Structure 1
Amino acid sequence: MENIKTLPQMERPREKLQLLGPQALSDAELLAILFGKGNRNLPVSRICNDLLAQISLKELPESDLKQLCETKGIGEAKALTLLAVVEIAKRLTSVPLLRLPDHQAVAAHVRPILQNSDGLSYLLLVMTADRELLAICELGSVLPDLPRVLRLATESGAKRVQLVRNGWLQFSRTEYQFMRNLELACGALGIITYEMLAITEDEFKMM
């Protein structure tokens, strides 16, 4: 892109947007509209091209203020504006998380998953502090190793976790010991651990 003032009127980003719609604009042209203007020594078109040479549009959600300001011509004001737009885009496209307020809700949600299993299955539910479901991790037919569960919890950003399984409603000594170890390890990471939940077709039981 050249200096916008030197472009023919219908090739300027704002006029192009008005005539053809936003889908017709390049990434740099969209940024130029957002920034509005450059500075005395650097036109906005150059700033946008330089930024996109360092950080692609898809990488912007992972960028921070310091990274954006490393591009010449982007000061704190432009960087903060861009970060605000990125956050708006996140909120517009985010899907509301399912909240599981109690153990009955957990049982109702995972029962169809466990019913499709051919045998014994352990599942790990990772949730936010408000009990919003982040993910359900299938752990297999035997108790998982503790490091694996901790890794799944921390990588998902979980604040609460719960282990569930199908089968009988009684718990083994090994399961009790595993849950005690999990509770201690998660507690050290600031993660709340709920007791294991055993689920049948029409019942459930807490450890």
Structure 2
Amino acid sequence: MAASPATSSAPAGASSFARLSSAPLRAPRAAAASFPSPNSARPAALVADARASRLPVVAAAAAGHQRLMGSLTNNEGLRFGVVVARFNEIVTNLLLQGALEAFERYSVKAENITVVSVPGSFEIPVAAQKLGKSGKYDAILCIGAVIRGDTTHYDAVANSAASGVLNAGLSAGIPCVFGVLTCDDMDQALNRAGGKAGNKGAETAITAIEMASLFRHHLA
């Protein structure tokens, strides 16, 4: 009689279990956290909220609110005083040249520009205030150059010039535009007087035109 085939007493799936149990155990990997990059698009909800927050401003503007601005072209008859310091003249002459060229570029007539020379930047505010209170000018440009040295004299002059020009404008009631360079060295100053950083004298003149136009046509 043929012997019956041997049967295993192990339950079904035991061989699979044995293979699994003999394999080395590995800790489950944590799910990688995902953070949006700074350049990634913002969620649509945030974009919608941002747009919604601007709607009242747009609606208010549409409802008739005015936005008053000066003009670089509407400058007919505007008159300007320019107070320029002689100290560090190699710089201040370039700044003055830039300012006068900007006036010419925007069609401000030469006869409507008065240039007053003072010894240094410390003396600029009192001259600016005197011109402003004369009633002859729509704006005053204040041009100078203060370069840091080995003493605290730089800080005293720079701070006095800045606060003095501000007070001159407030007391005279017309724009007194601060065009005094405050630099660490001569290279910085020259770079801002027509070098690679542009000409701050020209920028001062452009600011003066816009502010004078604003005061003459909107804030008079």
**Range into which the TM-score falls when normalised by the shorter chain:** under 0.3
Instruction: Indicate the structure whose relative CO is greater, using CA pairs within 8 Å and at least 6 residues apart.
Output: 2
Larger Rg: 2
Q: State TM-score, norm by structure 1.
A: 0.20
